[in-house]
Copies of this chain bind each other. A is one copy, B any other.
Amino acid sequence: YPRAMQVFRSFGAQLLSVPWDATGPRAEVFERLLERHTPKLFYCQPSAHNPTGLAVAPETARRLLDAAARHQVPIVEDGFDGSLFYGAAPTLPLKAVDRGGVVIYIGTFSKILFPGLRLGWLVGPPPILERLQAAKQLADLHTSALIQAAVHRFCERKLLDRHATRVATEYARRRALLLTALRRRMPSEVTWTEPQGGFSLLVTLPSGVDAGALLPQAIERGVAFAPGAPFFVDGGGQRTLRLSFSSVAANRIDEGIRRLAETIKAARGRLRGRERVERGAVPVV
């Protein structure tokens, strides 16, 4: 999540990344980093990783937690939009299986209610919460009591549960439409993640196609996306882009993907043309 990186960097942090595979952050890389460095904390989004939408498998979760407890490195679990899930059952947060007390869970109402709400919560060991409370008092005294009271009332009346169910149903429909459109429209060299939660997925473009360069061409065809590179800690991701399916009306998803696929095919075509020219220009000696 680019904003998190920005915050860590603004405090002078040196960021080390743990790449994801289908089951979550690669535990053996995490363990190696813990042995070689003494990181202050491990930040992750295990329930609905942004931008891939992937979730951490239970076995990987256990390994991450064990390693963190062994090295006494706190895990900051960004719950993000973990309340949106598309499997049979929601992925348990790491905090739910945290026996070592190493996880600080960050939750937010902004994703499930509406953006701009700016209300969240923390679950963590009391001594850490006390220090965070003191830091928050210095930063802004406290969060608006009006917002807190309004959301509290909303939850109390069970309106949040009803809303979450409705949202998850609608997003699941849009997610299915998006995956169908990708399968139907995209050239075979294009791949993507199948989101298990949240509201986005990550597309990987054919070799040689840069997502940043593709964006203005896509916009010309009336479709937009977020380049994936800012989501990568240490460079990379130039060939990736993030597609969000929460704010796009269901009936516009297929047409959007048609236009995006066209843009990609055109870029790939130009690329092959250039390759031919470059090959042709090699002097025969």
Contacts and interface: CB of A to CB of B under 8 A. Distances in A.
Interface of A: 3, 6-7, 10, 114-119, 138-147, 150
9 nearest CB pairs, A to B: A116-B145, A118-B144, A10-B138, A144-B147, A7-B138, A144-B144, A139-B139, A117-B146, A147-B147
Contacts of A7: 138
Contacts of A6: 138
A6 to B, nearest CB: 7
A115 B146 CA distance: 9
A3 B141 contact: yes
A115, A117, A138, A142 — most chain B CB neighbours (10 Å): A138
A143 B147 CA distance: 11
Q: Quick one: copies of this chain in the complex? A: 2
A118 B138 contact: no
Contacts of A119: 144
Contacts of A139: 139-140
A207 B116 CA distance: 54
A147 B146 CA distance: 8
22 contacts: A3-B141, A10-B138, A114-B146, A115-B145, A116-B142, A116-B145, A117-B144, A117-B145, A117-B146, A118-B140, A118-B141, A118-B142, A118-B144, A118-B145, A119-B144, A139-B139, A139-B140, A140-B140, A144-B144, A146-B147, A146-B150, A147-B147
Contacts of A3: 141
